[in-house]
Each structure stands twice: as structure tokens, then as C-alpha cells.
Structure 1
Amino acid sequence: MGKIKADYLIVGQGLAGSWLAYEMLKRNLSVVIFDEGTPHTSSKKAAGIYNPITGRKMVKTWRADALFPDLENQYQKLEISLKSKFLYPIPIYRPFKTIEDQNDWDGRRTDSGYDQYLKKVLTEPIGYSNIHDPLGGIILNHSGYVNIPEFLKAMKLYIQNKGTYRREVFDYQRMELNFEGVSYDDINVGKVIFCEGVSSNPYWELPFRPVRGEIIDIETKLSSEHIINQGVFMIPKGQNRFTIGSTYDHKKLTYEPQAEGIKSLEERLKKLYSGKFEIVDKRAGVRPATHDRKPYIGLHHKYKTLGIFNGFGTKGVSLTPHFAKHFVDVLEGHSDIDEEVHVQRVV
């Protein structure tokens, strides 16, 4: 057999690697992708929420105006292309904690910067049984979740049909770098792009701030047309099931759910929801978060045939489609790198 020649080799077929591969293949670039196939990745464990208004102060998330207006349309087009279903647009209901929150959001009704994301401001309870929301809350547009395991499965088939997919561990020692590209066993490529999530890549010593997060699935009789988000998020999955999350632990970075994490979720859930529930599943993932909560994108400062597309943390669903397009534009010489996400800011 002869050598396989391709434009790019991508290491990791998580959310980031999948979107990057899709953007490359859409432009008729040739791609080889390596993936370990392990179930213990942050993408396969994540809840997949996308939410334009975040944080304790309930403000627009970073780059919201660039990311969210077309986000659902991008995933819907991808569903059609891949003949799969993984996007679930659902309004988020965020109960107010204080009268001050209520007054603040009542004033934002006329703020043009928020009007496309704000569906409704409630000053009375929404009416869901056993939900604690005496002051009402806000209902958001451009929100919902992506079933990431279904997305990854569909993308894997797409990559297998359009490119070269290898289920194996990428061995850095077998990679040979030269001025024209990279050789790896029987493969010659122009560049290797690492999309590995939390890893020990010898070429990138970056200030990642990985964080473990637990998620539980519960059964309960609550009926909700919204994702309810206050202290925890409650994602309705149908048939009396909800996904509840999440925890944030920077110390114990394990893919196994921890008792203290599950206990924390239960305690916070009970502050929002007083109904009876049964835990039917629990899982944990380690998110590849960064020190400044912005991804690492760009080429190596020394080896220009090596790139990185990583560090999307909890906002991967909303960030990766936009920045995959941007990075391929950069790689193909059509654009300069966005300095806010450029990996060279920390090298």
C-alpha cells in the first residue's frame, strides 16, 4: 500500500475535532482523523447546553452576538446533511433570586442589546409544580441543548465516508516533522491539528484549568417545556426524565462520579425543586477549560506544521462552529487569527 496524502490530520474526534473536520471536508480539503474511541471524554459526558445569558449576574456570554443568532441554523443544516437528529432548541427559564434581579431585568426589556435573547420577563411564578420561583424569572431565546453523543456518532459516519478515520491512539513519537509537512507511518499531511481535550501533549505546555463536572439523570413527575436553570440546570428529556447538572471541581480530575459531587447536585436541586425524584444515572467528565475561559487556537510558535484547536470548556456547543470556520480560514490563508483566542497569547 502507498502513502496516504492529506491536507490535515486531526487528533481527537470530540466536539472540537468534529466541527473542524466538517468545516475542512465541506471545503474539499482532505482529512485524516485519529480518535481513541474512549467513552471517557468530556464531549461524550457533557449536557450540551447552549445559553446566551450566563453567570451569576445573568449577562450576555462572551461573543454572544456573533455566535447565537445563527447557531441553531448551523446545527439544523448539519442535521439535514448528516441525516440525524441532535439539536433540541428549548427556551431556558431562569428564576429570579432577589427583587433586585427582578427589577434589573424589568429594566432590560427595552435594552436593544438583549431583546433578541429575551423572550419574556415574569414577575410571578411560571406555574410549574414544586419549582421554587416566587419572584418569577426570565425566559430566554436562542437556547437549548445538543445531544453530543448523537452528534459525534453522525459525524464519525460522515468523516468515514468523506475522509480517513482511524480508531487508535496517536503516538507523538511516531510523528516526523519537516518544513513541508508531517509524516506519521503511512501518512503524509500538511499539518497536524490537536483537538484532544485534556491531554499530556508534549508539544503544548499550556495553562489549562481542567474541571471535573458531575451530571445526573432523574425520574420525576414534573412536566416542563423549559430548561430550568437556577443553581442547577434541569433539562427535560421526555418520559418524566431530566438531566441535572453540573458541578465544578478543579482538584479531583477523574471521570468517575464522586459522592460529594452527587450530593452537591442533590442539595442544589432540592433548593429549586421540592418534588420527589429518583436518580437513574450519573456520570462525570473533565472539561478542557482554560485560565481565561477562551479557547486555544493557532499554530505552534516553533513548529508551524502543528496546530491546536482546544480549550472550549463548558461552551463548546456554541463556540466550536464559529471558530472552526475561523480557524480553517486562517489555515488556508484567508484570514488573520483572532487575537483573543490565539494560542500565542499564553506561549
Structure 2
Amino acid sequence: MTFRPIIEGKPAQEPLLIAGPCSAETEEQVLDTARQLAGQKVDLFRAGIWKPRTRPNSFEGVGTEGLAWLKRVKDETGMKVTTEVANTQHVFEALKYGIDVVWLGARTTVNPFSVQEVADALKGVDIPVLIKNPINPDLKLWIGAIERIYKAGITRIGVIHRGFSYHGDTKYRNVPRWQIPIELKRQFPDLPIICDNSHICGRRDILQAVAQKALDLNFNGLMTEIHPNPEKAWSDAEQQVTPAQYQELMQHLIFRQPTTDDMEFLENLEHLRHEIDEIDEELFNLLSSRMKLAERIGEYKKRNNIAILQTSRWNEILEKGVAKGQAKGLSEEF
């Protein structure tokens, strides 16, 4: 697959910045937010018009009338605008009001039928489409959504990493599982990946840390939720920040270069990578030898009618392994 830029003419090395309220609540709220963001180098102003809520009694968006507010944002500030679509009617209405970019939410990406419906509605239209990861950590499902949109003739495609559902204790609203978007980037090097730090965090105090992590991993941009008065937001109040807080957050982020032409740096980096390659070779040899010994032990137990697992020995291995690892500066989790 060959992908075109989300925003034509924007330098590829510059991050794509998407910001705006979780939901379009009122015309005043949308325009107030947009006017405060207009001078902050935001590439796309976002606002949810239709909200796929977990519970039916939650705020589900203002609907089509909110698209007129986004059109006013576009006309008054010059910012391009984007919103989420989940079915044929959403696509039709978004196109009618001149929405510049649409995105598929996590609850849409998880359902191939819904993705195909949107893809069919977009056939023949040259509009950028951003695709959020599915709620569950399924890379193939994410790739499948990309393929469906691409087969509809859309080549201006990007993805949004918003984290994954997790049943357990975690500081995140949706755990990032960074290895999944990294693997997606490995398979599709030219596919832009945007980090939705708001939905990963679910809280304001770690927004900057997650955004910086994404930039350090060479993500191509950020999507952050902004509200003029977050405490009174009709949805996801805890994860939204004011335009002023957003400006401060952006000022503290370090935007790194993906690469460099500095030959001294490149030579030193190549030397360090060569050292890692040599260590990896030793590790693979040791692991291979260990596996062969484990197989011999297993066969020996089998011949003598002994159970494969001895809990006391397994506990001993774990305790010793953790202790030795920590002594070498490795974390217990590793």
C-alpha cells in the first residue's frame, strides 16, 4: 500500500497536531475553543458530533447541527476540521458540510461490517481517513480496517493509537501497549501514526508523559482533547485540558528528529548497534542451549513417569531469576 500525506503540502518531518473538544456541546463552546486554539499551530480542529457511548443514558452528541458549528470554525479561523463517522449517514452529512478529515473510532474499527459500510460510503471521495485502533489489542483487526478503507480508493490514510481496554489495575484509561503500534509501523513504514494521549491517559496529570513517549517513538503527531472549561464538559471531563494548558503542554514537549546527516553520530550509532548484534548472537546461542537442556529434562521426567511441573523448582527459578536480574539493574517486571 502506498499512502499520500494527510495534509497536502505539510512537511513530513513536522508533527500533525489535532486538538479540540471531545464533544461539540454548544456552538459557543466549539467556537470559543477554536478561537483560542487558532494561533497554536493546530493542523486539525476536532470535535465529536456523534458519540458512541458505552451506556445509552450518556451524552451521545448533538448530531448534524454540530457540523454547522465546525463549518463556522473552518470559515472563521482557517483551521481544517475533523470528526468521527461510524455509518453511511454520518459520512454523507460530514461530506455535505465540508469536513476535511474523518476518523473511525475504536468501536467502529472493531467491527468489520461497520468499517466496510464506511468504506463503501467513501468510494470515489478523496478525503483523508484516520483509523483508531480497535478496543481490544488485535493488530490484524486494525490492519484489516486499513485495508478496507484503502480498497475503497482512499490513499490519504493515517492511524490513531488510543490505547486498549484492560481489565485490571492500571494508571491508564486505556493501556498503550506500545509494541502494537510499533509493529504496525514496522509493517507499514509510511503510514502516519497519531497518538491520542487523551484517551490513553483518561486524566490530565500524565498527558505530557504519554505524549513525549509517543514522540520519542517517532510517532507522527498527537490528538489531544481541549475544552474551555473541562470540569463542566459533557463527556470525558477528566482527560480534557484548557487551551492554555494545552499550549503549556506543547511547549514542554521535545520534538526529536527521525534521523540525521551527522556522520559522526551515524558512525557511533552503527558501532553501538554492532555491539548489540553481537550480544544478541550470544543470547540466542545461550537460549538455544538452554532449550535443549530443558527438552532433555522433559524427556527424562517422561521416561520416569514424573510430572512435567514441580512447583517448588519453578518457584525457586522465579525467585532466583528476579533476584539476579534486580542485582544487575533489571526491573522485576522485566
Normalising to structure 1: TM-score of the pair?
Answer: 0.27
Whichever of the two has the greater Rg, that structure is 2
Q: Counting strand residues as a fraction of each chain, which structure ranks higher?
A: 1
Q: Larger relative contact order (C-alpha < 8 A, sep ≥ 6)? A: 1
Normalising to structure 2: TM-score of the pair?
Answer: 0.28
Q: Counting helix residues as a fraction of each chain, which structure ranks higher?
A: 2
